Structure 1
Amino acid sequence: MAGLSRRQLARTLESVDDFADPSVELEQYLTPPELAAHLTHLASLQGDLERTVIDLGTGTGMLAIAASLVGAERVVGIDVDRDALALARRNAAAVARVTDWTANRRLEVDWIGGDVTRHPFSITDATVVSNPPFGAQRGNRHADRAFLETARQVADVSYTIHNEGSQEFVESFAADESGDVTHAFQAAFPIDRRFAFHTAERETLEAEVFRIEWDG
């Protein structure tokens, strides 16, 4: 695991900056460092970082950077928002500056502009990591389904973060697509006030994380 414990990884990921002007349509939120560390730590233990890792809708780059820190040999982050990709690049550079992990190995991620639903990948055996839109906004229901559909196309294994109450949907989708949910756990997802419809300065959601093995 590149010499980083889960706790050390979470502390390192605290250097990742949030969106300065997040898009409500894209439901842009910062993936919590502790959650990113938990997810990628599990992926490492499962041997899933030995494949190419693709972060669908990378946003701030949190999951892509975490996967690279934990030891993934090749990581790709894709996002439709060019400003998000610029932020992700800056975050990767900032993380590299604050850790001596790079003394033995460089933090490398390929950043690609593109729509997850019309992706450019020909690979079919990747590991996908993703914090897709929860689909909580009107007109954006089930936005996470499109990310699962792409994961099914490009991955042997995927790790995706969803809104609370998504287990039945995710398990049903996986079963319909010859997939198997092997791990599921809840995780705290703190959100600071950023949009007009937010009424509290800070709210903590209960997110759900799923590891799915896809039958090629």
Structure 2
Amino acid sequence: MKLKQLESYLGNLEQFSNPKIELEQYPTGSHIASRMLYTAENSFGDISGKVVADFGCGCGTLSIASALLGAEYVVGIDVDTESLEIAGENAEDLEVDINFVQCDINNLSLRGQIVDTVVMNPPFGTRKKGADMNFLAVAMKVASQAVYSLHKTTTRDHIKKTVLRDLNAKSAEVICELRYDVPQLYKFHKKKEVDIAVDLWRFVPQRDQER
């Protein structure tokens, strides 16, 4: 599938009807999502034929992108049931098979299950400090092949140091810097749209770590 075709599919997905600020719910735009998954597949071969988990899947954008790019099995995990309902409808509309699960990432137990690749657009940790690193810590335990994640560019040094030092990563690489369009979703937003610089990371777990 070509990049423009993937972006077009993702651009038609329903997004949050009632976003929850405490969960830092922001839609993953089709521009960023398509490039994130297209790169994961075409540059690294981490999607097609793989078992992919989407952490904090929201309305299912990254899950659906993974399925469209030929993932063997996709599981989308989120704590919010309303978002999962929308995600299920989106997947049904595009006729892709995804297993959506309601679960707090911090309580996730995937022992005995093999996940090749984790993809995620985690909370930036603006409302709940450390939320982004919590997502990363779990992802690095679960993924056997790679973790793809979006984080504010301003946190780049902290992310790299922490992942390599504390989360047993073999490598941590910023693949590209993107512009994340944050729409005016909440009352405290003063502008119709704000651009935030974000990094697309690819983390590779140590192959010999216990799973």
Instruction: Give the total of aligned pairs.
Output: 201
- Offset of 1:81 from its aligned partner? 0.6
Q: Residues of 2 paired with 1:86 and 1:39: CA distance? A: 24
CA 124–172 in structure 1, closer or farther in 2 if over 3 Å, else same? farther
For residue 58 of structure 1, what is the aligned residue in structure 2? 57
1:113 aligns with 2:110: no
Worse-superposed segment, 194-203 or 181-190: 181-190
Shift of 1:136: 1.5
Match of 1:23 in 2: 20
- 2:208 is equivalent to residue 209 of structure 1: no
**What's the counterpart of residue 164 of structure 2?**
175
User: How far 1:116 sits from its partner (Å)?
Assistant: 0.5
Q: For residue 134 of structure 2, what is the amino acid of its counterpart?
A: A
1:155: Cα distance to partner? 0.5
Q: CA deviation at 1:172?
A: 1.1
1 CA distance for matches of 2:98 and 2:174?
A: 26
- Displaced runs of 4+ in structure 1, greater than 6 A? none
- Cα displacement (A) at 1:120: 2.7
Matched to 2:98, the amino acid is: V
Task: Give the SS at the match of 1:25.
Answer: helix
1:171-213 Cα shifts (integer Å, max 9, x gaps): 1122112211134321111121111110001112111110000
Q: Aligned to 1:151, what secondary structure does the other structure show?
A: helix
Write the deviation string for residues 17-73 of structure 1: whole angstroms up to 9, x where unpaired.
110110000000110111111111111121111321000010010000000001111
Structure 2 gaps, min length 5 = none
More deviation, 116-125/205-214: 116-125
Letter in 2 for 1:10: E
* Structure 1 residue 95 displacement after superposition: 3.0
Percent same amino acid at aligned positions? 29
- Is residue 128 of structure 1 aligned with residue 125 of structure 2? no
Give the 3-state SS of the residue equivalent to 2:24 in structure 1. coil
Report the secondary structure of 1:205's partner residue: strand
Alpha-carbon distance between aligned partners in 2 of 1:170 and 1:184, rounded to the nearest angstrom = 14
In 2, Cα distance between the equivalents of 1:114 and 1:186?
Answer: 30
Structure 1 unaligned residues grouped into runs of 5+: 97-106
TM-score, structure 1 as length reference: 0.89
Residues in 1 aligned to 2:155 and 2:200: alpha-carbon distance in whole angstroms? 9
TM (norm. structure 2) is 0.91
Q: Which residue of 2 aligns with 1:87?
A: 86
CA–CA separation in structure 2 for the residues paired with 1:128 and 1:193: 28
> CA–CA distance in 2 between the matches of 1:108 and 1:125?
16
